[in-house]
Structure 1
Amino acid sequence: MDTNDELRDFLRARRARLKPEEAGLTPADKLLDQSRSRRVPGLRREEIAQLAGVSVDYYARLEQGRARHVSEPILVAIADVLRLNTTERAYFFALATQHARPAAHAGPSTVPRLRPAIHRMLEEFNSPALVLGRGLQILAMNRLARSFLFDMDTVPARDRNLAKWIFLAPEARRRYVDWESNAADMAAVLRAEAGASPDDRLVSDLVGELAVKSHEFRRMWAEHHVSACLNGVMRIRHPDVGVIEVEYEALQVHGDQDQKLILYAAPEDSPSAEALSLLASWTARPSLPDHGLPRLPGLPATSTPAEHHDV
């Protein structure tokens, strides 16, 4: 990733989303603006510089990636003007100071490994759970997660990646009720990782592959959204138990900053909790019969649970 281009495009996108009144421009500023033709959406460079207390030339050099040794107070002032959230601030600071920090993950990728205890713990959870590495690599899934989303063992090791599955697998579009929103979240997470480590070959190769193979990814990537997606709500359309609404939480794995444990849970005594419980009872069995499976009330009968689709 070209850091200068990314910083420029990110700042342009962020100032384009702000209306002058949202940034605190005074009525006098707005009257002055009416005398000129506003050719760009949102705020101009001059307005950002004025509100942040820096010269227009200095801000222009920063946006173009030509500023060096930018002080933290100036970055904070610009972030405040642009109303960046916590994740966006970290991304902005990383891009603006990238030249002063050593490259991370620039060399050949090593195969990430999970501690055996984490594998054992995954299977003890009575809800879907998985572990993601950098670049949204899927490092492990428990049995219920394999049924809830997809079975990673049916996918070649190089393709065991949550972003790849969401953008490139037809099955993902059937599973995610809100596919557009969930896919945009994945693009935003990848952008945050790419900004933190622009020399990371694994992440840059993944972004390149998705950009070539998915026009939706190209569109979402161009929006320059940045997010950590540490928690939220999602809906999965399971072929055997219907729509399941769950909350998810991303927890840092102690001892490895690149690994996150993702836990999914449905509200207690909800239809989704009942559906997950039924799904768990099936996945706990060593094998499933070809007929006679219990069904939730109101769901159409089928002879067997739907097979997993390769991606």
Structure 2
Amino acid sequence: MGLAVLLRAWRARAGHRLGLGKPLPQVEVAAEVGMSERWYRDLERGATPRLDARTLTALANALRLCADERATLFLYAAGGEPFPAVSPLDGVDLTPLRRLLDLQPTQPAYLTDNAWNVLGHNEAMAEWFPWVQIPGANLIRWALTAPEAREQLADWPRHGRAYLAMLRYAMAQYPGNPQLTELLRTALADPACRLIWDNGPVVIANRDGHTFRLRIPRFAPHSVDVVAQVLNPLGYPGLRLTFLNLLAGPDAYTSTDRRNG
């Protein structure tokens, strides 16, 4: 982890996308930013100077970064943190947010902190995913390491890639967070997760708007498609409210399942 690792990977990818057959040369990146080659070379060696917004924007453009990658670059290089790295359990009353979850009676909804610990959920979430009721339940740990997650999350490698990418982003957002470090250590002990992680430094800020298919006992033998909506309540820094909305009723998948055998 770290900015230097990301810069090297992004530069290599930029060269591939440009059809160079090799990483984009350091001298070209530096020229696009308006800095010296030595300056950029030092960045990839681990130098951590404070960079202004103009320089970071130019660097992001030179490396052809997406929105989440740009945000990660700013977090590392500018030291900015959108949310303070504090524990939401220290004297914070979560009752209003938990009541909000209960106002969603039919679709799963849950509350997590900046390390994806499950702090609250509604009845629908517990019916779909009973594991959330276990003390210490953690979304990332379940999704990456639980055998049932690989059965219930259709196309699990895509989910594994997304969750590891979010974990990478969070570690830039909250450097030194011991819970995130432990989550990564636990995940990388699994060979499948290690393979995804080593395949390249992908970063994703969140899964808001992502659609995916679930295979859960509640709807057996059919699968269901859902879309995740993620909200960050401004009065509760670092917390996430996530709502899973069915794209169609379970009966709508009967014909699809038959076509797929």
Superposition TM-score, scaled by structure 1 size: 0.72
Match of 1:218 among 173, 194, 198: 194
Shift in Å, 1:298? 11
Report the secondary structure of 1:151's partner residue. helix
Distance 2:161 2:16 in 1: 27
Report the secondary structure of 1:135's partner residue. coil
Matched with 1:196 is: 173
Structure 2 residue identity aligned to 1:236 = L
Shift in Å, 1:133? 0.8
Matched with 2:210 is: 232
Identity of aligned residues (%): 24
Shift in Å, 1:105? 3.9
Matched with 1:8 is: 4
Distance 2:173 2:187 in 1: 19
Cα-to-partner distance string for 1:51-103 (whole Å, 9 max, x where unaligned) = 322211010112222242323222111101112122211211221234x99xx
Structure 1 residue identity aligned to 2:125 = A
Are 2:235 and 1:259 equivalent residues in the alignment? Answer: no
Matched with 2:118 is: 138
User: How many residue pairs get matched?
Assistant: 250
Are 2:4 and 1:18 equivalent residues in the alignment? Answer: no
Matched with 2:102 is: 123
Cα-to-partner distance string for 1:98-139 (whole Å, 9 max, x where unaligned) = 4x99xx648xx5636552232222122121111111111111
Distance 1:240 1:206 in 2: 28
**Is 1:198–1:204's contact at 8 Å kept on the other side of the alignment?**
no
Are 2:29 and 1:48 equivalent residues in the alignment? Answer: yes
Structure 2 residue identity aligned to 1:9 = V
Shift in Å, 1:161? 0.8
Structure 2 residue identity aligned to 1:258 = G
Distance 1:179 1:94 in 2: 29
Shift in Å, 1:231? 2.0
Matched with 2:159 is: 182
**Is 1:131–1:262's contact at 8 Å kept on the other side of the alignment?**
yes
**Is 2:168–2:203's contact at 8 Å kept on the other side of the alignment?**
yes
Distance 1:65 1:15 in 2: 15
Distance 1:170 1:21 in 2: 36
Higher alpha-carbon Rg: 1
Distance 1:203 1:234 in 2: 25
Distance 2:170 2:17 in 1: 32
1:297 to 1:94, Cα distance in 2 relative to 1, 3 A: closer
Match of 1:77 among 40, 50, 58: 58
Shift in Å, 1:246? 0.7
Shift in Å, 1:20? 6.3
Cα-to-partner distance string for 1:227-265 (whole Å, 9 max, x where unaligned) = 122221011002242201011110112311211110111
1:131 to 1:21, Cα distance in 2 relative to 1, 3 A: closer
Structure 2 residue identity aligned to 1:218 = R
Distance 1:201 1:297 in 2: 47
**Is 1:266–1:273's contact at 8 Å kept on the other side of the alignment?**
no
Matched with 1:289 is: none
Distance 2:252 2:3 in 1: 47
Shift in Å, 1:209? 2.4
**Is 1:129–1:145's contact at 8 Å kept on the other side of the alignment?**
yes
Matched with 2:128 is: 148
